[in-house]
């Protein structure tokens, strides 16, 4: 099943995979080697910590290798959805309850970062936005209750 992701998100995943393989994996192998040289492994906390870290690194490498092969890279700049909210779109909203404006880009699960204004395609607000247009009002069930947003601007930059 294809995993939707922006060009920026795909590059970040590929960079992480490269770093894990070229830097982190060799470093942890060296740390394990040094910990082994200290003798008794049964009471060697450094060795245990290094082995645990190695397990995490190898697991993440396997996860990323599986994902990278399934990525469906979408360049928001090349999307022409006729003003509709689609994956990759940047949407400026007015929270009608609080009277505040917010701006989000709809991205893949792996690149979501609410503090950076990147919301996951599978989030409740993104699901409510998909297919809507400027001027539409959406209602979203949020942890603090239902909220209404008006779509002010939809862009594909």
Q: Is it the case that residue 40 has pLDDT exceeding 90?
A: no
Lookup: tokens for 34: 């040094």
Q: Is it the case that residue 80 has pLDDT exceeding 80?
A: no
pLDDT in tens, 55-72: 999 999 999 999 998 999
Do residues 7 and 68 share a domain?
yes
Lookup: tokens for 52: 């645990």
Average pLDDT over residues 41-48: 78
Domain span including residue 21: 3-73
Q: What pLDDT was estimated at residue 10?
A: 93
Do residues 148 and 81 share a domain?
yes
* 3-class DSSP state of 137: strand
Instruction: Indicate which CATH number applies to the domain containing 102.
Output: 3.10.50.30
The Cα 87–Cα 122 span in angstroms is: 10
The pTM (predicted TM-score) of the whole model is 0.79
Structural domain total, the chain: 2
Q: Is it the case that residue 41 has pLDDT exceeding 70?
A: no
Do residues 113 and 133 share a domain?
yes
Do residues 69 and 91 share a domain?
no
Residues above pLDDT 90, as percent of the chain: 71
Do residues 52 and 10 share a domain?
yes
Do residues 80 and 145 share a domain?
yes
When the pLDDT of each residue in the chain is averaged and rounded to a whole number, the result is 91
Of 58, 73, 88, the one marking the end of a domain is 73
Do 132 and 91 form a contact (C-beta atoms < 8 A)?
no
- What is each CA distance from 29 to 5, 90, 104, in whole angstroms? 32, 42, 41
* 3-class DSSP state of 81: coil
Do residues 147 and 84 share a domain?
yes
Q: Is it the case that residue 98 has pLDDT exceeding 90?
A: no
Instruction: Indicate which CATH number applies to the domain containing 28.
Output: 1.10.287.180
Do residues 104 and 44 share a domain?
no
The Cα 102–Cα 36 span in angstroms is: 53
Q: Residue 22: how many CB atoms within 10 A of its CB?
A: 10
Average pLDDT over residues 70-80: 87
Of 38, 73, 108, the one marking the end of a domain is 73
Q: At CA 27, angle to CA 24 and CA 29, rounded to 5?
A: 110
Q: What pLDDT was estimated at residue 79?
A: 79
The Cα 118–Cα 91 span in angstroms is: 10
């Amino acid at each position: 099943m294809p995993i939707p992701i922006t060009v920026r998100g795909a590059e970040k995943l590929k960079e992480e995979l490269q770093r894990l393989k070229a830097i982190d994996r060799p470093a942890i192998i060296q740390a394990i080697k040094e910990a082994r040289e200290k003798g008794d492994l049964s009471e060697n906390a450094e060795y245990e910590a290094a082995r645990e870290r190695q397990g995490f690194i190898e697991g993440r490498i396997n996860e990323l290798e599986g994902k990278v092969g399934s990525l469906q890279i979408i360049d928001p700049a090349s999307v022409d959805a006729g003003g509709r909210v689609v994956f990759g779109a940047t949407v400026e909203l007015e929270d009608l309850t609080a009277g505040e404006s917010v701006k989000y880009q709809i991205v893949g699960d792996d690149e979501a970062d609410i503090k950076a204004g990147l919301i996951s395609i599978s989030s409740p607000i993104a699901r409510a936005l998909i297919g809507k247009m400027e001027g539409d009002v959406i209602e979203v069930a949020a942890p603090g209750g239902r909220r209404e947003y008006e779509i002010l601007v939809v862009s594909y930059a």
